Amino acid sequence: MYVCAGVCNIEEMEKDKDKALPFITTADFTPYFLGIIASMNAGYWVDETGYQIHNNEYGTNAPQKSRASKLKGDPPLFAGCEMQLSGQFGNPTRDEIELMIRAGGGRVVPQLFLRDMRFAKSIAATTLPPPSENGNDNNTVRHLIVFDQAGEGVISSRKLKTEVKAMRELGQSLGKRVEVVQRKILLECIAAYDMDRLVEADIA
């Protein structure tokens, strides 16, 4: 059971989230929350072998996959991703989602394309290429809007559509593409340590 929602719900993790959350989306994380608790109690990261889950629904052991990725020198799961969190979040909370994204090498911004717009304003005065993010060329950065769900008390469908439309129009003017992703899909990508599982939400 690697689902981060399950991990974030436990009281023990709430007490020390700054220590535990970065362990989730990096290539060193313990998949089962008992392993995290054991590590917290011990004061160091315990051997995760006994906490790994085999023959899981994703058909792969994500911790094993993430370690192999790190050994090959691959970037973290969210490297090259710029994400804007839209609306309110339930459980995991907005702060917890943001911690997971940052721990996985991604960037959380109040609005997409702020860096691109700043660069566009200064491009006439320089011949330098756009600034890179997480070791990636700026043109390869993935721009995502992440939302929990559209509904009363979270974010209205109308507000979400308006926000997405504005960001897509801005992105198009900059030659960029915006992906819209529901929170649970992002968590599934973390659980499988596979961003290829990311499926865009249909909010049309």
**Side chain identity at residue 202, one-letter code:** D
pLDDT at 160 over 70: yes
Q: Write down the pLDDT at residue 89.
A: 87
- 152 and 128 both lie in a single domain: yes
pLDDT tens digit sequence for 13-54 = 445 445 444 444 444 443 445 666 677 678 777 776 676 655
- The residue from 20, 43, 71 where one domain ends is 71
**Structural domains counted in the chain:** 2
Asked whether residue 38 falls in the same domain as residue 101, the answer is no
- Distance between CA 5 and CA 7 in Å, rounded? 5
Helix (H, G, I), strand (E, B) or coil at 149: coil
- Integer-rounded Cα Rg, in Å, for the chain is 18
For 28, the domain range is 4-71
- Cβ neighbours, 10 Å, residue 204: 5
**pLDDT (tens digit per residue) in 99-152:** 889 888 999 999 999 877 766 665 544 544 554 444 444 558 999 999 987 565
d(CA 173, CA 191): 34
Is 17 part of any domain?
yes
pLDDT at 25 (0 to 100):
46
DSSP 11: H
**Contacting residues for 127 by C-beta, under 8 A, at least 6 apart:** none
* Residues 67 and 94 grouped into a single domain: no
Alpha-carbon 99 to chain mean position = 8
For tokens 């721990």, the residue is 103
- In 46-131, beta strands by DSSP E: 81-86, 107-108
* Prediction pTM value: 0.67
